[in-house]
Amino acid sequence: MITNRKIYLMQRLQQAVVKGAATRYVVVESETREQAEKLLKKFALVYDTELTKSTKTRRRQAGEATTTAHCYERPERSEQPRYWIILMVSDGVGRIEQFEKLVAVTNTNRRIQLDGYELIHDGIKWSWRMAKPTYQYWEKRIRTVCALPPERRKPQDVERLIADLAKVPGFRLARRQVGNLYTLLKREWKRLRPSTDVLPPTPTYLPYVRMLAKGPGKVMVDPGSKRSARDGDAEMMTDALPLDSTAGQSCQTKQRGLS
């Protein structure tokens, strides 16, 4: 299945690793949808990627390696291939070992990375966090906004920065990073701005990403914009629900204090 839902895919990859259904992986990228579809059909034929969940479970219990294919359709950007395919492979013996260079999900030098985020085990459990270049981007943006000369300072700049940080996918480790970045913002603002410049309030709580339903994604209309928005964009907006939301069930956004 090809999906444009980035957060949904991140959840599924994390679940597969947590449950032990995937201990190895390999990534393939494609420029066109036609090429991606051909690759997915090939993987289904050669590696049995489209078997039912129950069949894969039985095979793993028998010592066979099972493979699941996921394909993410990125927003169009000239600097990267449009389609990102990952094969998630379990322990066991299988044909895929003969044809693909598999990487252990525990390999700290080659973590699963998807467009600025990486899946890691921090000694407690698995979660997604910003990769180093992404985190450094936010640090630079914070320092740039705080250090603007008086003639270029606009309230909208820091307000937009605070709002954009709140849209970071609400995985446990990413939330912790956002908390650290808000702390950096307050420190740099105090250091570089006069006391007459009041920093807008930053969120006290950040929402956890909610469990998203299965599906490939579809084109939606963003009521706050004249453009259409894909499901992936809508999920990012949902992840930044108002912090006074009362949703608290397991399938909805949960809120916790910043650690």
Q: What is the pTM of this model?
A: 0.80
Residues 6+ apart with CB under 8 A from 140: none
- Number of Cβ atoms within 10 Å of the Cβ of 13: 23
**Pseudo-torsion of CA 131, 247, 124, 28, nearest 10°?**
-40
Q: Could you state, in order of their start, the residue ranges of all structural domains in the chain?
A: 2-115, 130-244
Count of alpha carbons within 13 Å of 113, Cβ hemisphere only? Answer: 12
Note the pLDDT tens digit of each residue in 64-83: 999 999 999 999 887 889 99
Note the pLDDT tens digit of each residue in 88-144: 999 999 999 999 999 999 999 999 999 999 999 999 999 999 999 999 999 999 999
Report whether pLDDT(250) > 80.
Answer: no
Q: How far apart are CA 208 and CA 145, in angstroms?
A: 27
- Tokens encoding 100: 């693909």
Report whether pLDDT(258) > 70.
Answer: no
Compute the Cα dihedral for 15, 16, 20, 24 and give only its sign: negative
- E strand or H helix at 144: helix 132-146
Q: How far apart are CA 123 and CA 108, in angstroms?
A: 13
Confidence (pLDDT) at 205: 84
Q: What's the full length of the chain, in residues?
A: 259
Note the pLDDT tens digit of each residue in 188-232: 999 999 999 999 999 988 888 877 777 665 533 333 333 333 444
